[in-house]
Amino acid sequence: MDATSSRRATGVRQFLDLEQQRDWIAGKIDLPDGGDRSESLEQRFKYVARFEKLLSHPQAGEVLEILGLYGPNCIPLLRKTERYYWSVSCLPSTSDKPLVRVNASWMELFTLYAQGDDIRARFILHLSDFTTDRSATPSRVDEAFLEQSVVEPEDISYFFPRGADIFGINVRGSVSIRKLLGSRRVVCAIRTFNLTHMNRGRNAYQASHCYSVADYMQAV
């Protein structure tokens, strides 16, 4: 991608052309993401107390380990795109009371909640990646595949948020969340959806980014 095209591009297109994005989605290439993070100390200190509160939860260890799987596998160029093209919020003040939430543009990507002493997850994805015929038809959801992607069939459920080709998956239990994140088809679907929204431009949730949680996504 030449300098002129890079200046015109929005989102991750500034750093990766469409062929590179497709190859990363398919797992054909690794994306080098060296260099220092562009970090705001003021922003880091803003959420230190909230991060310490998260650490007091019995689920904190599992939450941070799951994020350590999700970050490197599901978000391109973690350091280069941090905060401005994706962000992670710590104990965000929303009515559903999540522990952490990952966003890009105006879209929720991934959320973790407490469930007893364990956790549950919510993924937002493209419906067409989870239907038997690759259409965005709700009646065509590949339920057999979803049930095989977790430990027990009852660990997974789905719903249809507003919007074209939007699909929500709920997963109960850290063991099932890990198994789901080990599925190549699921990871490709997560990468596809995340890039869709990271390519839409700057992240609307920059002000709620918690660097302390993001540390664990980047194995810092």
Task: Please give the pLDDT value at position 32.
Answer: 80
pLDDT(219) > 80? no
Domain span at 147: 3-217
Is residue 52 helix, strand or coil?
helix
**pLDDT tens column, 84-137:** 999 999 999 999 999 999 999 999 999 999 999 999 999 999 999 999 999 999
Task: Please give the pLDDT value at position 218.
Answer: 87
CA distance 220 to 214: 9
Residue 212 contacts residue 48 (beta carbons within 8 Å):
yes
**pLDDT tens column, 156-187:** 999 999 999 999 999 999 999 999 999 999 99
Q: Which residues pair with 120 in a beta bridge?
A: 113, 172
Element (H, E) at 184: helix 184-198
pLDDT(33) > 90? no
* 104 Cβ neighbours under 8 A, 6+ residues apart: 85, 86, 87, 194, 197, 198, 200, 203
Task: Please give the pLDDT value at position 4.
Answer: 46
Helix, strand, coil abundance in the chain, percent, nearest 5: 45, 20, 35
Task: Please give the pLDDT value at position 187.
Answer: 98
Task: Please give the pLDDT value at position 39.
Answer: 83
State the average pLDDT over residues 47-61. 97
Task: Please give the pLDDT value at position 22.
Answer: 97
User: How many angstroms separate the Cα of 217 from the Cα of each of 25, 39, 120, 208?
Assistant: 19, 15, 18, 16
State the average pLDDT over residues 131-153. 97
CA distance 63 to 132: 31
b/e code 127-141 from CB counts within 10 Å (16+ = b): bbbbbeeeeeeeeeb
Q: How many structural domains are present in the chain? A: 1
